[in-house]
């Protein structure tokens, strides 16, 4: 049996003085950006989570969303102060800003794949597309949804934008004129917190307060798969892996889970990954690591490791004896579920 394990390889306690709302890897995977309710943006070395730069009072209210540009040289941020700002990613010097970008909270921001545009979604129910350099408005869609827009993202080819809303609807838009291409009403039975395109652009994943994860055909918005009760609490963040084979989810239940993207079968989970709600999760560009940000003010980096029992049986004599003893107990004395057995073997290996 092959299992996927999630192990914490770096963590920064008190990364911020308040809730961490948004985290993201740089395109080269060497840095992580975080945005917080403390109004601060910070950039970290991914390996040890050492602070590289920070901007205090980056915004005058909660920072809801941060993202790197495709070339990694810039960071965009969106805030409850209704402002969008673009920063140099090295020193976090402000390059441009748009005050009153929306008439209500800015909930989500993202760069286009070519780095020339920024999309924003707001509690004012509006989607807007901006020129990245001067934050000049290129297009907007008022009343894009009938309630707060929590998540927006460009498709990999930059021609489409997906949006998810408290109105329980997912919509796909032409990124040029913001004309609606498709929609799914009642996509979930509660607020939709997070939406994202697959790397090939053919699918969309959504996570909701209804504790369900769903995958959709991006062209027709036909549901391809779903996982009810994916978490025991609200799902705040979902994302595809760079190769499109996995989906990561972070939840109010303090758990990170990794799913097979085809059938939404659980591949791995980390219970009590944080001590409070997990607001944001993202894969590294290489797909082997995950970053998470939480209400516990902490940023953590996780490593995904694939391994098989056969590999460990061949490891050494001590490991063989330990594993064989576990397998004997499993057969004759107590029956372990497969995932528990795998974790016991892993724990034994780590203690030796």
pLDDT (tens digit per residue) in 137-162: 999 999 999 999 999 999 999 999 99
Mean pLDDT of the chain: 91
Q: Which two tokens stand for residue 320?
A: 């063989």
Pairing of strands 246-251, 256-260: antiparallel
Query: Is the pTM of the predicted complex or chain greater than 0.95?
Result: no
Q: How far apart are the first and last CA of the chain?
A: 22
Half-sphere exposure of 110 (CA within 13 A, CB side): 25
pLDDT at 162: 98
86 strand-pairing partners: 76, 96
Would you list the domain boundaries of the chain? 2-304, 315-350
Q: What is the CATH number of domain 2-304?
A: 2.130.10.10
| Rounded alpha-carbon distances, angstroms, from residue 331 to 116, 214, 335, 336, 345 | 60, 37, 6, 9, 15
Tell me the per-residue pLDDT of 242-281, one tens digit each, with 9 for 90 and over: 999 999 999 999 999 999 999 999 999 999 999 999 999 9
């Amino acid at each position: 049996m092959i299992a996927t394990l999630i192990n914490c390889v770096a963590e920064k306690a008190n990364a911020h003085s308040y809730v961490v709302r948004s985290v993201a890897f740089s395109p080269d995977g060497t840095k992580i950006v975080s945005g917080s309710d403390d109004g601060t943006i910070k950039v970290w070395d991914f390996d040890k989570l050492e602070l590289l730069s920070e901007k205090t009072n980056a915004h005058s209210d909660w920072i809801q969303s941060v993202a790197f540009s495709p070339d990694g040289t810039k960071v965009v941020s969106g805030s409850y102060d209704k402002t969008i700002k673009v920063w140099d990613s090295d020193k976090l010097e402000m390059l441009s800003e748009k005050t009153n970008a929306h008439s209500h909270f800015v909930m989500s921001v993202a760069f286009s794949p070519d780095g020339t545009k920024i999309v924003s979604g707001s509690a004012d129910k509006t989607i807007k597309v901006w020129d990245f350099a001067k934050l000049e408005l290129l297009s907007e869609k008022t009343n894009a949804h009938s309630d707060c827009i929590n998540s927006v993202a460009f498709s990999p080819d930059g021609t489409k934008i997906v949006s998810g809303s408290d109105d329980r609807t997912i919509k796909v838009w032409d990124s040029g004129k913001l004309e609606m291409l498709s929609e799914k009403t009642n996509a979930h039975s509660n607020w939709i917190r997070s939406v994202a395109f697959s790397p090939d652009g053919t699918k969309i994943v959504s996570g909701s307060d209804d504790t369900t994860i769903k995958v959709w055909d991006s062209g027709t918005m036909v549901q391809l798969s779903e996982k009810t009760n994916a978490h025991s609490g609200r799902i705040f963040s979902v994302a595809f892996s760079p190769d499109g084979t996995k989906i990561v989810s972070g939840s109010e239940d303090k758990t990170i889970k990794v799913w097979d993207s085809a059938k939404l079968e659980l591949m791995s989970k980390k219970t009590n990954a944080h001590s409070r709600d997990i607001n944001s999760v993202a894969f590294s560009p290489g797909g082997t690591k995950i970053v998470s940000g939480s209400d516990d003010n902490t940023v953590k980096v996780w490593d995904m490791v694939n391994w098989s029992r056969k590999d460990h049986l061949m490891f050494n004599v001590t490991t063989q004896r330990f594993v064989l003893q576990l397998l004997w107990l499993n057969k004759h004395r107590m029956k372990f579920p497969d995932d528990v057995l795998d974790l016991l073997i892993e724990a034994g290996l780590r203690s030796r």
